[in-house]
Structure 1
Amino acid sequence: MIEVIKDKNEWRTLLSKVEHTDFYHTYDYHQLSKKEGELPILLKYTDGSTTIALPFLIRNIDNSDYKDITSVYGYSGLLSINIDDNFKIKNFHKSLNAFFNKNKIIAVFSRLHPFIEARETALEGLGKIVSLGKVVYIDLSKTLVDQRATYNRRLKTYLNKARKLCTVIEGHTDEHIQTFIQLYIKNMKRIGADESYLFNSEYFYKLLSSKDYESKLMLCKHNETQEIIAGAIFTKKGNIVQYHLSGINEDYFSLQPIKLIIDEMSIYSTKKGYQYLNLGGGKGSKEDSLYRFKSKFSKNYKVFKIWKYIVDRNAYKTLTENHLNTELEDHELDIGYFPAYRAPIKSISYMASLSELLIFSFN
């Protein structure tokens, strides 16, 4: 009852039957996101007229015969067709577990989508669904006047100043793309981002040229110098616009050009009839300076959740103990990083015991 879809056309066909999807669910984005040794798959479960789809990346676990499953960076989760209160959840769980066990998959992790009502209850009873934090969004169904009424007063001041000195344009040329890549990479290196965020040039070109979704590169040009001082890539699918990547020339921080780009994108998206412009949350889902920056645009937010499921607890425990080189009790397996056997050893600080382990990311 579980079908594994790897073919591009089959993947696209199934998603076309789902009422609401996002670019994070698409075949192309999964191909872009996969790392070496990872295989994008779309699990399809069918029961009568009901279909459930789960996009994943399946990967091998070093020094073992086991595998685990994760989701792409962003918001993935469960998609459904014709699911209702009569849906037999136990049958779905039974089929899913049979697939996991047959393929020696011992752990599952997925970032759930905060904007798509996908009957999250279908996953209840399989591991844990954990609320991590808030993601900020602009409600594009409101008029531009009503949207701006919720803008932070200081934000309005920055926007007025930036609009006098700068112009936002859409990036089309190869020069535009290359300029944005340089801004983005410099940004990531300046803040000490993980290497996984330092995408190669091919990533950006493929991201911007995919037919699975629409994308838009917005650039901010300084009127006096004609220099491109900031840029952002937005993706659009269904009724959702996602603020995906951005970069800024640090010499122009005081102008806050990213704010102007977001504001211009909200104008464009409202006129085009989209419902949400998702700005995302803070780093590690915290209400930090990044979150506060985004919340200046809107007080609307959705709760971001993740799904964690240990399929084979014995194998999970053994792999974790081998990885951390220590024996663990069952209650010590939840170290704040999932799955625990992939926790980056270099960032682990063994103060006095594992109870003092402080890791705040999920992979």
Structure 2
Amino acid sequence: MHAYQIPLEEAENIYYGMPDSCQLPTLHPLYVAADASRDDRLQPIFWYSHENNGKFLYSFHLCETKLEKNLIIRDIESPYGYGSPLTNTRDSSFLEGVRREFQNWAQANKILAHFARIHPLANHPTHFYEKVDFNRSTVFINLKGHLFDDYSGRRRTYIRRESEKIHELVKVEDANNFSAFIKLYEETMRRASARDFYFFKEKYYENLYKLSFVECWLLHDEHSIVAGALILVSHASKIIEYHLGAHTIRSKSRPMIYLLHLLARHYQKEGFEIFYLGGGRSTSKDDSLLLFKRGFSSNLIPFNIGFSIYNHDHYESLKSLRPGQDTTILFYRD
């Protein structure tokens, strides 16, 4: 078995050689590389293993965190959204060999921990991690059926009412309109009192905008822009993923509802089959964002997190120095 790091260009070629169903947008090596620009500590890594006809590609971030006394902790994390290895086989012998090779690589590179937000739509070998836990339910729209059949009654009523008004759905094709989306997104996050994690550097937006499979949309009413969204697109898998959204506040209007409906209708006409919306802000089944998304679909799919600790003694010693701060896997970063 061969296992080693590879450059981005080679990772991109391997990605396109995987089965169509594996080619999820947030697992694209170019997306992982672009995502690294949101935090100076992140380094995109592309790790590849193969034997006979079996192939295994994993694109992730290596992060270095400086603690007191010049202590540097190295760990692995998924990009923003989701991260999963891609493989063209379910051969258990091959996948077990890959798991051992990756563990050896991680230990040789002094990686302390590995935290993965496993893509719900990925055909994923979960035994790749030391432990996998259910985190929350997520939502997707089946674009192969009639959209209104799965919308809630109130959602259908609202969309019919909005369709009688003047709206224009515009695909962003220039930097000025993309800047308008960024401004609207940041206003939306400030209004929601969002954590710093949800505010991005200018370079992050620039790198996303350059990707051919990232599409930005704006919804205009008769006066101004009222909503916008960034959508990640895979023609191979026929899957689109909702990435970022933004909207204005209107007393009698919820513009994101109509925008998401128009996007679902547009991509349905383009031949896509799944519109993945994601989950809520929390793990609660009553999370308001989750309930909003469920208004579009009853299709739920579990989102799991996976993690491995490669140096248990060191990890436990860090936990003992930070009592009460070990509620997350990568607790020492904060």
Q: Deviations over 1:79-112 (max 9, x none)?
A: 1023335x34442232122111111111101111
C-alpha RMSD of the superposition: 1.9
For 1:59, the aligned partner's letter is C
TM-score using structure 1 length: 0.83
| Structure 2 residue 147 is matched with structure 1 residue 150 | no
Distance 1:304 1:64 in 2: 33
| Structure 2 residue 170 is matched with structure 1 residue 169 | yes
For 2:273, the aligned partner's letter is Q
For 2:45, the aligned partner's letter is I
For 1:21, the aligned partner's letter is Q
Kindly indicate whether the alpha-carbon contact (under 8 Å) linking 1:2 and 1:95 is maintained by their aligned counterparts in 2: yes
Q: How does 1:1-363 map to 2 (within 5 A)?
A: 1-5=2-6, 7-19=7-19, 20-34=22-36, 35-62=39-66, 63-85=70-92, 87-121=93-127, 123=128, 126-142=129-145, 144=146, 147-167=147-167, 168-211=169-212, 214-223=213-222, 225=223, 227-237=224-234, 238-250=237-249, 252=250, 254-287=252-285, 288-322=287-321, 324=322, 326=323, 335-342=326-333, 344=334
Residue 24 of structure 1 and its aligned partner are, at CA, apart by: 1.4
CA gap of 1:292–1:82, structure 2 versus 1, over 3 A, is same
For 2:87, the aligned partner's letter is S
CA gap of 1:208–1:286, structure 2 versus 1, over 3 A, is farther
- Answer with 25-34 or 15-24: which moved more: 25-34
| Matched residue SS, 1:232 | strand
- Provide structure 2 residue ranges, at least 5 long, that are not aligned to the other structure: none
CA gap of 1:220–1:83, structure 2 versus 1, over 3 A, is same
Kindly indicate whether the alpha-carbon contact (under 8 Å) linking 1:65 and 1:104 is maintained by their aligned counterparts in 2: no
Q: Deviations over 1:121-149 (max 9, x none)?
A: 4x2xx41101111110001122x3xx211
Residue 156 of structure 1 and its aligned partner are, at CA, apart by: 1.3
Distance 1:285 1:236 in 2: 26
For 1:245, the aligned partner's letter is L
- Provide structure 1 residue ranges, at least 5 long, that are not aligned to the other structure: 327-331, 345-363
Distance 1:66 1:46 in 2: 29
CA gap of 1:312–1:294, structure 2 versus 1, over 3 A, is same
Kindly indicate whether the alpha-carbon contact (under 8 Å) linking 2:26 and 2:232 is maintained by their aligned counterparts in 1: no
TM-score using structure 2 length: 0.90
Between 1 and 2, higher relative CO (CA 8 Å, sep ≥ 6) is seen in 2
Distance 2:73 2:206 in 1: 34
Q: Deviations over 1:48-99 (max 9, x none)?
A: 22111121111223232541111101121121023335x3444223212211
Percent of aligned positions with the same letter in both sequences?
A: 23
Kindly indicate whether the alpha-carbon contact (under 8 Å) linking 1:12 and 1:26 is maintained by their aligned counterparts in 2: yes
Q: Deviations over 1:154-210 (max 9, x none)?
A: 111221222222412222233322221111001111111122322234433331321
